[in-house]
Structure 1
Amino acid sequence: MKLAEALILRADCQKRIAQLQQRLLRSAKVQEGEQPAENPETLLSELDAAIAQLRTLIQQINQTNARTAFQNATLSDALAERETLQMQRNVYSNLVDAASIRQERYTRSEVKFFSTVAIAQIQNQVDRLSRNYRELDAQIQALNWQTDLIEVSRET
C-alpha cells in the first residue's frame, strides 16, 4: 500500500469512528419498555475494531514519514515545514485583513483609523508564503503516491 492510500484510509477511519460515536450516543438510553435503535454492544465492538485499525494506520504513517527521505531531511520534517508555513501565512493574511478594514466616516468628528503596518509588504509576504506552501504541498503529495507504507506489527 502506498502512503497516500494509508492517509485516505486514516481519514475514512476517523470518520467511521465519529459516526460510531454518534450512533452509540443515540442508543445509550431509551425509555422504559423501548429497545435502542442499535445494539450498543455491537457498536462498541465495531468502535474498538475501528480504533485499533486507526492506531495501526497512524503508527505506520508515522514510521513511514520518519524514515522517508525528502530533499535533505525526512518527510516528517517537510510536514512540519508545511504546517508552519500555513500557520505563518494565516497570521499574516489575518493581519492584512485587520489592517485593511475601512470604516466609513460620515462626519469629521468621527474617529479616524490608520494602519500601523505596511499592508502591501505583508500581502507580498502572504503571496510568497502561499506559493511556498503550494510548492511544498505538491512535492509532499507526489512523494506520498510514490512511497510504500512501512508495515508495523499489530499489537493491542
Structure 2
Amino acid sequence: MKLAEALRLKTDYAKKLSQLKSRIRAGCTVQEGDEPPEKPQELLVEYEELSQKLFELGIAINLANSREKISYPSHYDNINNLEIIGAYNSDEIPASIVRRTRLLLEALSERDILSTKIQTYRDILDACNISSFRMSKQEIKIMATMDVKVLNKKIDLLSKFLRLIDVKIQESNWLIEI
C-alpha cells in the first residue's frame, strides 16, 4: 500500500470511530421495554477492532515517515540567502537553492512549523493594519511599528517554501510503499 493510501485510510478510520462512538452513545439508554436501534455491545466490539487497525496503521505510517528520505529545499538551509528563491508566484526554482536529503519526518515537521510561522506573521500583519483616522490634529494618531511591506514579503517567502516542501511530501506519499 502506498503511504498516501494509508494516510487516507487513517482519516477514514478516525471518522468511522467517531461515528461508532455516536451510535454507541445513542444506544446506551432506551425507554423501559424498548430495544436500542443498534446493540451497543456489538458496536463496541467493532469500535475496538477498528481502533486496533488504526493503531497498527499509525505505527506503519510513522515508521515510513521516520525511515524514508526525501530531497527538498528547506527554508532553514536557505535562510541566509533568501533572495535565491525567486519570485513568489513563479514555480521556477533557481539552481542555486540548497536542497538537502532528509527524513520525511523532518520535512513534515518543517511544514508544520512553516504553517505556524505564516499564521503568526499574518496575525502580526493584521495587527499592523490599523486604519489611521483622525478628525483633527489634536487626536492621537495610531501608527504601525513594523514595516508592512517587509511582513508581506516574509509571508510570501515562507508560503513559497511551504508549497515547495508540501509538493515534495505529497509526491513522496505516492511513491513510498508501507
Q: TM-score, normalised by structure 2?
A: 0.78
Contact in 1 for aligned 2:130/2:142 (Cα 8 Å): no
Which runs of 5 or more residues in structure 2 are unaligned?
Answer: 72-100
The residue that corresponds to 1:101 in the other structure is 130
Q: Which amino acid in the other structure matches residue 68 of structure 2?
A: T
Taking a change above 3 Å as real, the CA distance of residues 65 and 110 of structure 1, as seen in their structure-2 partners, is same
1:77-156 pair list within 5 angstroms: 77-102=106-131, 104-105=133-134, 111-149=140-178
1:25-67 superposed Cα distances (whole Å, 9 cap, x missing partner): 2112122222212110111011101111100110000000111
The residue that corresponds to 1:3 in the other structure is 3
Taking a change above 3 Å as real, the CA distance of residues 34 and 113 of structure 1, as seen in their structure-2 partners, is farther
Q: CA deviation at 1:108?
A: 5.7
Q: Distance in 1 between matches of 2:171 and 2:20?
A: 33
Taking a change above 3 Å as real, the CA distance of residues 23 and 106 of structure 1, as seen in their structure-2 partners, is farther
Contact in 1 for aligned 2:128/2:148 (Cα 8 Å): yes
Q: Distance in 2 between matches of 1:75 and 1:100?
A: 37
The residue that corresponds to 2:26 in the other structure is 26
Q: TM-score, normalised by structure 1?
A: 0.89
Q: Which amino acid in the other structure matches residue 92 of structure 1?
A: Y
Q: Distance in 2 between matches of 1:114 and 1:35?
A: 67
Q: Distance in 2 between matches of 1:45 and 1:62?
A: 26
1:50-89 superposed Cα distances (whole Å, 9 cap, x missing partner): 1111001100000001110122210001100111011101
Q: Distance in 2 between matches of 1:104 and 1:20?
A: 55
Taking a change above 3 Å as real, the CA distance of residues 50 and 103 of structure 1, as seen in their structure-2 partners, is farther
More divergent stretch after superposition (59-68 vs 110-119): 110-119
1:94-149 superposed Cα distances (whole Å, 9 cap, x missing partner): 11112113265556665532112111101110011111101100011001100101
Identity of aligned residues (%): 35
Matched pairs, number: 149
- RCO greater where, 1 or 2, for CA within 8 Å and sep 6 or more? 1
Which runs of 5 or more residues in structure 1 are unaligned?
Answer: 150-156
Taking a change above 3 Å as real, the CA distance of residues 121 and 34 of structure 1, as seen in their structure-2 partners, is same
